[in-house]
Structure formats: C-alpha cells, structure tokens
C-alpha cells in the first residue's frame, strides 16, 4: 500500500482505540471488530479477570500482534475515573478513537460514593468526565473521534430534565417506580448522551476531533441482568426479538472507520445512517444547561 492510499483511508490498523464496556454485549462485539482490523486496544473495565479473559480471546482471534491494555475502573465512581485517566495518560502516547459505550439501568435508587444516582453516573457523567479528562490527549492524534453509545430510548423523554431534582429520586418512589420510573431515568441518560455529543462537537469545532453518537437498536446482550428475576425474564423474552451484538455494534465500527467525517460532527446515527433524534435532543440551550450542570456534578472546574 502506498502512502497516498493509506492517507485516503481511515484505516484502523495500528490506531489506538480506547473503549468502555468491552467485557460484554455491544462493546465486546465492537472490540472483536477492532481487533480484527488490527487496531491497538485500551479496555476500560471494572472486572479484572473478565477483562483478561476478553484480552486473551481477542489475541487468539487476531493473527497479527496487537497491543491490548487493560485499565480497571468502576465508571460509577468519579474518583475511579480520575485514577484510571491518570494511568491512561501515562501509558498511552496517543488515543485515536474513544468509545464511551458502557451503560446500565438500575431499577432501585442507589447513590455512588459521590452521592450521584447510579444510572446517571454510569451512563452520562462517566462519559462526560472521562472524555473531558482525555480531550487534550485526543487532540494529539492526527484525526481523532469520540463515539458515544446512545439509544432510541431517548424518545421516551418529552419534557427534558428536572434540574431541581438532579438525582431523580422521585422516579424510584411510590407508584412511579412501578410505572416505569427507572426506565424513564435510563431514557434521560440516553437523551443526555445525544445532547452531550452535540455540545461537545460544537465546542470542538475546527479541531481534529469529531464526535458521534449512535443507536444500536434492540440488542440481545447482558443488559438489565442486575435487576432481579423479573427483569431477567423480561429481557429473555425481548432478546428473542433483538439483534445480535455484532449487528448492534455495526454502526459503531462503521463510524470509527468513516473516511469523510466532514459535516457529520455531533450527529446521531442508526443503521449506518445519520438520523434525526427528537426535537428535545437537538435543543442547543438544553445541551448548554446540561453541560454546565454536568461540569458542576463532576467538579470539572476544580481539575
């Protein structure tokens, strides 16, 4: 391959891809696809032995030698994210692709060590903080991209966020808990992923970094296995109608390899196409307010 052809293609070979949630489901399928393309991988996981198993599996699958780094962090903890970021900055000379994919739904009200509701902490604040702490490093890549796993679930939210009740505790109380309160909370975090993507893209305009988010569709994974027997049974039925993790990861991998990213910065995708999210998800003022609130929640100004 000549230098000219290499430049024309955004080839993932030898690029460094840092990914969260690669120990299961969509993230694992994406990691396999990246390994098959001979990208170097940084896996941020909370479970060391699971991450090591995945790393062995990926090495066996890949014929060419590739680098796989494991970084251990509980993404619900801002302290843990700060610690792991320091390790990443020390170990990785360059990051070309950051994939914020880890996510969960907690159907009981639980607080993190920083006093933040869990679903919000893992799904929104973790990508917000991790990305913010790695931005300067991403700027060192010739052409970097950030991909956030959002969801069609954002469509459930019609009125935005109640910024006076940032932890959304009322959604887990009384009848609200049984009328889908925790699912609404999850949907809020997925709306936040789309707003975060758009606002980050706006702030990075003119830089070397492109930001995308995508909906993987309904995917058969280990999602919602942490919420008891009823949730497990529901997911078992839903999984009959769901796509494979490989299909769920397809748009993610496609975005990571996209050659021409001009005019696509900050956009939402599904099935390899740019799609319009809800009107609320394109509300620039809401995105700005959410950004400011998130900065306060992770105490970004104190970094």
Ligand X SMILES: NC(=O)c1ccc[n+]([C@@H]2O[C@H](COP(=O)([O-])OP(=O)(O)OC[C@H]3O[C@@H](n4cnc5c(N)ncnc54)[C@H](OP(=O)(O)O)[C@@H]3O)[C@@H](O)[C@H]2O)c1
Binding flag, residue 78, ligand X (CB under 6 A): no
Torsion of CA 171, 177, 181, 186, to 10 degrees: 100
Interacting span for ligand X (CB under 6 A) from 46-54, 131-139, 158-166, 204-212 = 46-54
Known catalytic membership, residue 186? yes
**Cα separation, 67 vs 79, whole angstroms:** 26
Which of 32, 37, 46, 145 binds ligand X (CB under 6 A)? It is 46
Binding flag, residue 55, ligand X (CB under 6 A): no
Interacting span for ligand X (CB under 6 A) from 18-26, 82-90, 129-137, 282-290 = 18-26
**SS3 call for 239:** helix
Binding flag, residue 26, ligand X (CB under 6 A): yes
**Nearest CB to ligand X, comparing residues 143 and 274:** 274
Interacting span for ligand X (CB under 6 A) from 69-77, 254-262, 268-276, 287-295 = 69-77
Binding flag, residue 223, ligand X (CB under 6 A): yes
Cβ-based burial of 38 (10 A; exposed 0-12, middle 13-18, buried ≥19): middle
Enumerate residues 6+ apart whose C-beta is below 8 A from 88.
Answer: 18, 42, 44, 71, 95, 134, 137
Binding flag, residue 74, ligand X (CB under 6 A): yes
> Which parts of 102-131 interact with ligand X (CB under 6 A)?
102-104, 122
DSSP 173: S
Using an 8 Å Cβ cutoff, are 132 and 298 in contact? yes
Binding flag, residue 227, ligand X (CB under 6 A): no
**Cα separation, 181 vs 169, whole angstroms:** 9
Give the residues lining the site for ligand X (CB under 6 A): 21, 23-27, 46-47, 50, 74-76, 101-104, 122, 149, 151, 216, 218-219, 221-223
């Amino acid at each position: 391959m000549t230098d000219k052809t290499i430049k024309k293609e955004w080839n993932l070979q030898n690029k460094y891809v840092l990914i969260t949630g690669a120990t299961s489901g969509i993230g694992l399928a994406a990691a396999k696809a990246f390994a098959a393309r001979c990208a170097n991988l940084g896996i941020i996981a909370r479970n060391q032995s699971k991450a090591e198993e995945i790393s062995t599996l990926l090495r066996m699958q890949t014929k060419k030698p590739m680098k796989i780094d494991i970084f251990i962090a509980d993404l619900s903890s801002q302290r843990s994210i700060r610690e792991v970021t320091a390790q990443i900055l020390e170990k990785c000379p360059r990051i070309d692709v950051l994939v914020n994919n880890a996510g969960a739904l907690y159907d009981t009200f639980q607080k993190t060590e920083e006093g933040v509701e869990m679903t919000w902490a893992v799904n929104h604040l973790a990508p917000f903080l991790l990305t913010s702490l790695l931005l300067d490093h991403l700027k060192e890549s010739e052409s970097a991209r950030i991909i956030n796993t959002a969801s069609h679930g954002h469509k459930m939210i019609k009125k935005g966020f109640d910024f006076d009740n940032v932890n959304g505790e009322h959604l887990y109380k009384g009848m609200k808990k049984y009328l889908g309160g925790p699912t609404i909370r999850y949907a809020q975090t997925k709306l936040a992923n789309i707003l975060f993507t758009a606002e980050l893209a706006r702030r990075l305009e003119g830089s070397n970094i492109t930001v995308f988010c995508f909906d993987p569709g309904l995917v058969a994974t280990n999602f919602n296995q942490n919420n008891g027997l009823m949730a497990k049974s529901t997911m078992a039925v839903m999984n009959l109608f769901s796509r494979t993790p490989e299909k769920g990861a397809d748009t993610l991998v496609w975005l990571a390899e996209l050659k021409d990213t001009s005019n696509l910065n900050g956009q939402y995708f599904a099935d390899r196409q740019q799609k319009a999210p809800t009107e609320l998800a394109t509300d620039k003022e809401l995105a700005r307010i959410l950004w400011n609130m998130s900065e306060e929640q992770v105490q970004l100004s104190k970094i």
